[in-house]
Each structure stands twice: as C-alpha cells, then as structure tokens.
Amino acid sequence: MDVSGKSPLKIEKLVKKYGNFTAVNEVSFEMKPGEIFGLLGPNGAGKTSIISCLVTLQEPTSGHCEIFGYDPKVNPEYTKVLTGFVPQELINHGFFSIEEILVFHSGFYQRWHNKERIHYLLKRLGLWEHKDKKVKALSGGMKRRLLIAKALVHEPKLLLLDEPTAGVDIELRASLWDFVQELSQDGMSILLTTHYLEEAESLCDRVGILQNGNLRTVGPTRELIEKLTERKVHVFFDGVCNEEISSPYLRNREDNQAEFVIPHGVGVGDLIADIQCNVHKILDIKIEEGSLEEAFVHVLGEHQ
Amino acid sequence: MTIAPKYRPFLTLYYREIRRFLKVLVQTIAAPIVSSSLYLLIFGVSLGGRINLESGLSYLAFLIPGLVMMSVLNNAFQNASSSVVSGKFGGDLEDWRTSPLTPRAILWALSFGGLTRGFIVGFITFMVGQIFYLNNHGSWLAVAHPGYLLIFLIIGGLSFSMFGVSVAFWSKTFDHLSAVGSFVILPLIYLGGVFFSLEGLHPFWQTLSKANPLLYFINGVRYGILGVSDVPVETSLIVSGGALIIFYFIALRILNTAEYTRW
Ligand SMILES: Nc1ncnc2c1ncn2[C@@H]1O[C@H](COP(=O)(O)OP(=O)(O)OP(=O)(O)O)[C@@H](O)[C@H]1O
Ligand SMILES: [Mg+2]
C-alpha cells in the first residue's frame, strides 16, 4: 500500500466518554510522516483512551480519526495492516512459546513464512535465548519487549507505543529508544506515550500535552520548551565582585557569582550588556536551558 | 498454491486452535474414552439387555449414535468457549481485535476449531462403541448413510461451537459459562433423546421433546448410522440447518458488538 506523503495520523475533535465521564474531550492533532510524536500527560489524562480508539478497542463517542487517510471504523482492513500497536497492559498467552506467538501474530497480519523477520526481532530485542519459553516464564521487562516484537512483525508504517518502557531497566530503556530512533530513521511514524519526560525530550520531534482529556498544547518539542520555559544564566566572576548589579532578571547573587533567569527572546549578550559589568571580570558563563519537564509542569499548572 | 492474504488471518487462527487442543492431547483423547466407556458399560450393556425397542434394534446400537453426537456437541462447545474465555484473561482477544482478523473470520476459525475437536472425539467415541458392539453382537456396526452422518456431525459441531463462542463472549465470569453448561446444554442433550426413544414416551413429553432442537441433531446422526430414527430425516435436516443459521447470526452479532477488552 502506498502511503507516502500521507499524514500517518489525523485526529479531529475526538471525544471518548465512559458513561457520563469524559475521558477525551475534543482532541485534535495531526502527525507528520516519519516523525516521533510524544503524547504526554499525567495518569488518567486520556492517552490510552485515544490510542484505544485508533486500534478499534474502543469506539469514539464522537469525532474522527484517520490513519494514512483511512478511518479505522470504516476501513479497518487498511488501518490494521498499517498500524503496529504496543498495549500498556502486559499480556499473558498461556499455551504457546514466544516464537509460536510471533508466528501466529504474523499470520493474523497476513504474513506467512515470516521466520526471518521474527528471528531478527527476537535478536534485536534480546529475546533470542527466551524464544522457547512461555510468556509466564518471562520477566516483566521481557514481556514488554515481546509486545514490541509483536507490534513489529508485519513492518507497520505507524507504530503506536503505549508506555513501551514501563518496567524496563535503564540500560534496556536506552537500547529500546535507540531502536525506536532506528525505526523512525527507516521511515516509520511513531506515536508514543511515556512518563519519562527526559527521554521524550531527546526522542520526540513533537509532543502534545494532555490533561483531564484536554489537549493543552501541541508543537515541536524544542519550540514548546523555548516558549514555555526560561533559561538560567550563571555568571561567575573573577574574584569577589562588589559591583552592584541591577537587572530585572537577577535571581540570586553571591560574592563571586550571579544567577539570572531570562525568558526566551532575551539574548545572553543583552543581559551582559545590561548589567554593565566589566567584561574582563567575567570568568565563566553557564547557560541552563529549560527542560520538557519544566514545560510540562508549567502547562499543567496553568490549568489548575 | 498460494493463499490470498485476506484468508491468512482466518487460517492462522484455525491452525492456532488446533495447536491449542493438541497441547492438551491426553485430555482430548483419554477423557472421551473413559466417559463413553462408562456410558456404554452402564447403560448399553448392563441396563440395555433389559430394554426392548419397538424397532427391533438393540439398545446398545441405539445408544452409540447419541453418544457420538453428544461428544461432538460437548467438545465443540467446550473448545470454542474455553478459547474465548482464556483469551479474555490472557489478552488474546485484544490481539485479535487490533489485528486484521474480522469478527467473521474469528467466528469461523473458532467454529472450525471446535468442529475439528468434535470430530476427533466423536470418532473416538464411535470406535469405543464399535468395540462394545463387536463384543456383544459379534459383528461391527455398519454405517447406513455416511453422507447424512457427515452432514449432521458438521451442522452439530459448527452450531455448538458458535453457541460456545456466543456464551463465552457474553459471560462475565467462569460461573456464567458453567451455569450455561449445566442448566442449558446438559438438560437439552439428555432430553434430546440420547438415551431414550420418543416412541416410549407419554404424548405430553413427546411434544415437549419435539421442541428441543437437539432432538433433531441427535436423530439425524442416528439416521446416518442406523438408517432409522424417531423423526423423518428431512425434518431433522431442516430443523438442524435452521438452528445452525440462527446460531451463526446470533454469534456474529455478539462478536460485532462485544467488548474485546480484558477482564
Ligand atoms: N473502560 C473504562 N471505563 C471507565 N473509565 C475508564 C475506562 N478506561 C479509562 N477510563 C477512565 O478514563 C480516564 C483516562 O484513562 P486513560 O487510561 O486513557 O488514561 P492514561 O492517560 O492512559 O493514563 P495512564 O498514564 O495512567 O496510563 C481515566 O480517568 C480512567 O479512569
Ligand atoms: Mg495509559
């Protein structure tokens, strides 16, 4: 199926209610081909509910979703082959070995004779030596990796990862994110949810922040951070500097250093010029950029 | 021969169903040998000697087709329903739902899975019956109409697999499932003429029995094996075929509207 150039995911005014409770409230956003998109938000924000609508596990109450131009409700036969899905909850198939599960899963996705791909994924995800075990004999992190292998057997064009690294140790998490990046470089579009904001910051091209079912903001990760956070500038002086510093941005002043917080848009040069300090007395300048976590906290705080 | 991609999900699930019951092979084969031997020994041999049927058949011969169909129906129901229920716990249902398997493909795959297991167990029951028959009559029991036999076994196996799928999707607990087993299926099978012939019954019970669809399933198989039955074979065929169609549409409706999320 040729999907080049089409938007991998488009959500318009999606609403999901459970009874009277609104879990997702008129959420709209669109993904760009090949990007890694982070859907962030505290527990219960509605991330899983959105993904469930995309994979037909839940029916939207109203609104519209499109995967490469196809509505999952109208053309599931297309959206399902195009999508790989890693659920948040661990599965526990009782009867079969890891390899058998992957063989069946390939078949469900219309692929027979898929050994090569299955073996590649088993090795890539560090499950090769466990391939003859049953699911219940795996640790939580291994089960998580099995879920990822399952989602990839049919080489989907859009990958939906609902907390793929929950319960995975640091080292493996890093290698999983490497893998995600590699998939993205091969042209796969990826939507992920995670509570590890530092990792989201380095990984995601764009993020959306959900709170109580409302999409509070969406945009390129760097831009959001710049817009929503401030930079910290530490100026270190050579020896004790007794000069009076008057600047609206000054936060903290000690004998041989000063700390400023400047909004984006104000340059560091402007700041230095502004404080009228003898440039020769400045030993060092350290700039701390804002983080996604700060932006996140800021966005959630705005709507308390 | 290559198989078109759109049939592969269905065939894969059917294959998985077979692999699933082969993993419990001993249970699949040993249980029916034990239970059908017990029935044949107690009813067929020990009580059967004292029962005379108007048709001139031995009670043992009368009993065998009913036991065969009972095995097929029970196993079809059990196989399909336990697959769905364990899938609810394990998360397989979610996998099926999010993959290109359609509700129709799921239904047919589970139904053929149940039918296959029903066939295997039905065949074993039949062979156990043959041994008892040989032992008592000195000859094998010949099959009168193999074509009819096959048709009724297929209809019965598919119907009860579909019934099992429906009940399992509807059930919220294992108790629901076993309640349907003991309050619906067991009485219907026992009162469907496995152990007795309509001809000996009071007219009231005859009328009531005729409202039981399983009477036609069982008598169809009896006609297939023995060449005689309480109900004309055409009637059996129409009623069982109609029942299959109804089971199919009910099951499909349930699969189309059911929740596939985990318990
Ligand atoms: N099947 C359901 N029935 C009723 N309420 C539900 C159901 N699923 C989710 N909810 C509610 O909807 C809200 C959103 O849940 P959802 O699972 O989408 O959140 P989430 O953002 O994925 O959270 P987490 O980070 O904890 O995974 C929550 O308040 C939850 O209690
Ligand atoms: Mg969630």
What is the residue-wise DSSP string for A224-281? HHHHH-EEEEEEEESS--------TTEEEEETTEEEEEEETTS-HHHHHHHHT--GGG
Q: Which ligand sits nearest to residue A59's alpha carbon?
A: 1
Contact A108 B99 (CB under 8 A): yes
Which portions of chain A are predicted below pLDDT 50?
none
End-to-end CA distance of chain B: 41
Using DSSP's 3-state secondary structure scheme, residue A298 falls into helix
- CA distances in angstroms from A38 to A31, A125, A295, listed in the order given: 10, 22, 14
Question: Over the stretch B25-40, which tens digit does the pLDDT of each residue have?
Answer: 887 788 888 988 888 8
Determine the pLDDT at residue A229: 86
Return the H-helix or E-strand segment holding A86.
strand A83-86
Question: Cα–Cα distance between B54 and B52 in angstroms, integer?
Answer: 7
Taking a C-beta distance cutoff of 8 angstroms, is the pair B85, B168 a contact? yes
Structure tokens at A244: 């009076």
How would DSSP label each residue in B4-20?
A: -GGGHHHHHHHHHHHHH
Structure tokens at A248: 């609206």
Ligand 1 neighbourhood includes A46 CB (under 6 angstroms): yes
ipTM: 0.90
Q: Which residues contact B62 (CB under 8 A, 6 or more apart)?
A: B53, B197, B222, B226
Ligand 1 neighbourhood includes A211 CB (under 6 angstroms): no
CB atoms within 10 A of CB A35: 17
Check residue B78 and give left, alpha or beta (phi > 0: left; psi -120 to 50: alpha): alpha
Taking a C-beta distance cutoff of 8 angstroms, is the pair B67, B129 a contact? yes
Question: Cα–Cα distance between A4 and B171 in angstroms, integer?
Answer: 44
Distance from CA of A94 to the nearest CA of B (A): 7
DSSP state of B140: P
Ligand 1 centre and the CA of A208: distance in Å? 17
CB atoms within 10 A of CB B1: 2
Residue in A17, A27, A43, A61 to alter for ligand 1 test, most ligand atoms within 8 A of Cβ: A43
Using DSSP's 3-state secondary structure scheme, residue A158 falls into strand
Question: Cα–Cα distance between A115 and A151 in angstroms, integer?
Answer: 15
- CA distances in angstroms from A51 to A272, B15, B173, listed in the order given: 48, 30, 27
Stretch among B8-12, B51-55, B168-172, B235-239 having the lowest mean pLDDT: B51-55
DSSP state of B139: S
Average pLDDT over residues B186-207: 83
Amino acid identity at A157 = K
Question: Cα–Cα distance between B130 and B111 in angstroms, integer?
Answer: 28
- B226, pLDDT greater than 90: yes
Question: Which neighbouring-strand residues pair with A193?
Answer: A39, A162
- CA distances in angstroms from B165 to A245, B81, B169, listed in the order given: 78, 5, 6
Stretch among A55-59, B32-36, B48-52, B101-105 having the lowest mean pLDDT: B48-52
Q: What are phi and psi of A119, to 5 degrees?
A: -65, -40
Residue appearing with tokens 């509910």: A49
Determine the pLDDT at residue A89: 87
Ligand 1 neighbourhood includes A88 CB (under 6 angstroms): yes
Determine the pLDDT at residue B18: 94
Question: Over the stretch A110-169, which tens digit does the pLDDT of each residue have?
Answer: 999 999 999 999 999 999 999 999 998 998 889 999 999 999 999 999 999 999 988 888
Question: Over the stretch B230-256, which tens digit does the pLDDT of each residue have?
Answer: 889 999 999 999 999 999 999 999 999
- CA distances in angstroms from A157 to A80, A128, A186, B8, listed in the order given: 10, 25, 10, 20
Interface residue A156 vs chain B (CB under 8 A)? no
Distance from CA of B92 to the nearest CA of A (A): 7
Return the H-helix or E-strand segment holding B136.
helix B103-137
Question: Cα–Cα distance between A86 and A84 in angstroms, integer?
Answer: 7
Determine the pLDDT at residue A43: 94
Of the two residues B227 and B196, the one the predictor is more confident about is B227
Average pLDDT over residues B167-171: 91
Determine the pLDDT at residue A240: 65
Instruction: Compare all CA atoms of chain A with the CA of B95 and give the residue at the minimum distance.
Output: A105
Ligand 1 neighbourhood includes A7 CB (under 6 angstroms): no
Structure tokens at A92: 């526990």
Question: Cα–Cα distance between A16 and A53 in angstroms, integer?
Answer: 8
Using DSSP's 3-state secondary structure scheme, residue B172 falls into coil
Interface residue B11 vs chain A (CB under 8 A)? yes
Of the two residues B108 and B86, the one the predictor is more confident about is B108
- Determine the length of chain A: 304
Q: What percent of chain B has pLDDT over 90?
A: 56
Of the two residues A152 and B210, the one the predictor is more confident about is A152
Q: In what order do the strands lie in the sheet with A250-254?
A: A250-254, A257-263, A230-237, A282-288
Closest among A174, A1, A144, A178 to A83, alpha carbons compared: A1
End-to-end CA distance of chain A: 45
Return the H-helix or E-strand segment holding A83.
strand A83-86
Ligand 1 centre and the CA of A181: distance in Å? 28
- B77, pLDDT greater than 80: yes
